[in-house]
Amino acid sequence: MFFFICKIKNFFTKIFYKKQLRNNVANIGVNFVEGFDFNKRNDLFFLSKKIKNSSVIYYCENKKRIYNDLNNKKEVNNLFNSGIKFIKLWQWHNIEKVNFLENLKKKLKFFSIDNKFDKWILAEINNLILRVNFWYCFFKDHQIKINLNSEEFGLSNVVKQIALKKLDGCSIGKCRSNPMKVKGQWLGFYPNDIFFVWGKDSALGINKTINYIKNIIITGYPYKESHENEEHALRLRKIFSDNGVKFTILLLDGSYSDNKNSHVQLFPSKQMSNFIGSFLKWVIQDKDIGLIIKSKKKNYLSGLNEINNLFVEAKKTKRLHIIDDLGKEAKTYSKIVNFTVGTSVDVPTAVIQMAIFGSKSIIYDYANYKNYENDLYHWGENKIIFNKLDLLIKNLKNFKEGKNINNDLGDWSKQIYNYDIFCDNRGSERIEEYIFNLKKCFEKGYSSNDSIDYANNVYIKNWGEDKIFKINK
């Protein structure tokens, strides 16, 4: 009789436990960083069919970030009608005391302060506790178990990660910039549990950074092109055609500076003027040439005072088009250009993006990446990467005139699988699938580690073992 009662008890315990597992809520937090305009790079790119919008908590940390997107009434209406919960953090106040932090504060009362340095350390610790308390309460209040954050670095990322770990949640990051193959770079970047990259090349780069990401997932390029962007590109092609353009170049600039401080060294302003000025002169001199300049920021090119006159003359030809809309992607123009040329202090991410989408693409390597981009130089020197601007332009002019003996100029096709192993424009679908499986496990009551293991195993089953990059630290 006793054993019979025990069996009944165990049976109902299992049923009750399963019921509890099914009722767990696991919302997805998304930090407002890149905006919600689907015609640009955006934070909600992964949402399609599998994940319900009602389980997404889209939060904004400061008013400055959201200002530009709120001016786009169409996108704002789309967001508010989508079912996604949008939270302005400065309007949220449901903060309470957290036991483990309160215990820590009690221990700090015994902290010996002997000098100004000790006083500063104590103040910083208390500030950290305050911030962890905020994020712990926010994630708990909104039942967030998965947090997506496109920020690359900063203390805020570390604070969020501490709070999530204490709640047994997990964080997700994604590749925004192509990582250099320099061991030890990007200290403190991406304190994530899971990190999505485009291909093996970016996975290798991330693996060389000083980070401890245990799960690097190869998904392919994540952002789909919108119909609106495609129509815009076709209109531009017609404008160029009407003005006699027969050969179109997309020019991609990079961050530049006079480099008068030692904190960050960017592409020298004078050299950027020389780079862009060389192509402006070509437009002015050759009536067959159309030039699209995709700039990193709004009005960014206006800082290049040395070539202002060239801009004025080139605009008169009606064969120059400047795009400086933040978040607008270069790939929009991949089907209407003959070549893409880009530069930066490291390998330009937008050039790789264009190559993935089939454009003949060339890097101007003023900064000399040769020491750490050995493979790129091995197969692509003076084909897709040049460290002499005059040689690069000479090759382009010869190609345009049909005199070029370099048939591989700008051709990435034999190596592109290293940069996007899929090349099928389905990266966002794979990311949604991964997050969906992760969320499903959290809802069943599994731990963060077990949920990640499950999502990894399903991803391997669907896409192959080589798509989960093995960490070597």
- Contact between residue 393 and residue 365 where contact means Cβ atoms under 8 Å apart: no
* Residue 234: HSE in the Cβ half-sphere, 13 Å Cα cutoff: 6
* Burial (Cβ within 10 Å: 0-12, 13-18, ≥19) of residue 269: middle
Give the architecture (CATH level 2) of 227-418. Answer: 3-Layer(aba) Sandwich (3.40)
| Tokens encoding 173 | 């990051």
* Residue % of the chain over a pLDDT of 70: 92
| Tokens encoding 353 | 């993006």
- 3-state DSSP assignment of residue 87: strand
Report the phi/psi class of residue 266: left, alpha or beta, with left for phi > 0 and alpha for psi in -120 to 50: beta
Q: What are the CA-CA distances from residue 143 to residues 130, 148, 208, 449 (Å)?
A: 20, 14, 34, 18
| 8-state DSSP, 387 | S
- 3-state DSSP assignment of residue 214: coil
Say what the pLDDT of residue 6 is. 41
What does 110-163 look like in DSSP terms, one character per residue?
A: T----SHHHHHHHHHHHHHHHHHHHHHHHHHHTTEEEEE----SSHHHHHHHHH
Cβ atoms < 10 Å from Cβ of 49? 9
pTM equals 0.90
Cα–Cα distance measured from residue 328 to residue 330, given in angstroms and rounded to the nearest whole number: 7
Res. 105 pLDDT band, cuts 50 70 90: very high
- Contact between residue 323 and residue 224 where contact means Cβ atoms under 8 Å apart: no
Average pLDDT, the chain: 88
- Please list the residues that pair with 294 across neighbouring strands: 252, 323
Q: What is the mean predicted confidence (pLDDT) over 401-419?
A: 90
Res. 22 pLDDT band, cuts 50 70 90: low
The answer to which of 84-93, 123-132, 265-274, 379-388 has the lowest mean pLDDT is 265-274
Sign of CA dihedral 140, 141, 147, 150: negative
Say what the pLDDT of residue 249 is. 98
Say what the pLDDT of residue 14 is. 42
Say what the pLDDT of residue 262 is. 62
pLDDT at 39 over 70: yes
Lookup result for tokens 């178990």: 145
- 3-state DSSP assignment of residue 15: helix
Smallest CA-to-CA distance from 26 within 61, 3, 56 is with 56
Q: What is the mean predicted confidence (pLDDT) over 202-230?
A: 88
All residues at 6 or more sequence positions from 362 whose CB lies less than 8 Å from its CB, including other chains: 339, 340, 341, 342, 351, 384, 385, 386, 392, 396, 409, 410
All residues at 6 or more sequence positions from 96 whose CB lies less than 8 Å from its CB, including other chains: 137
All residues at 6 or more sequence positions from 131 whose CB lies less than 8 Å from its CB, including other chains: 155, 156, 159
Q: Which residue has the higher pLDDT, 178 or 10?
A: 178
Q: Which amino acid, one-letter code, is at 311?
A: F
Say what the pLDDT of residue 23 is. 64
What's CA 382's distance to the chain center, in Å?
29
pLDDT at 3 over 60: no
pLDDT at 473 over 80: no
Q: Which amino acid, one-letter code, is at 202?
A: S
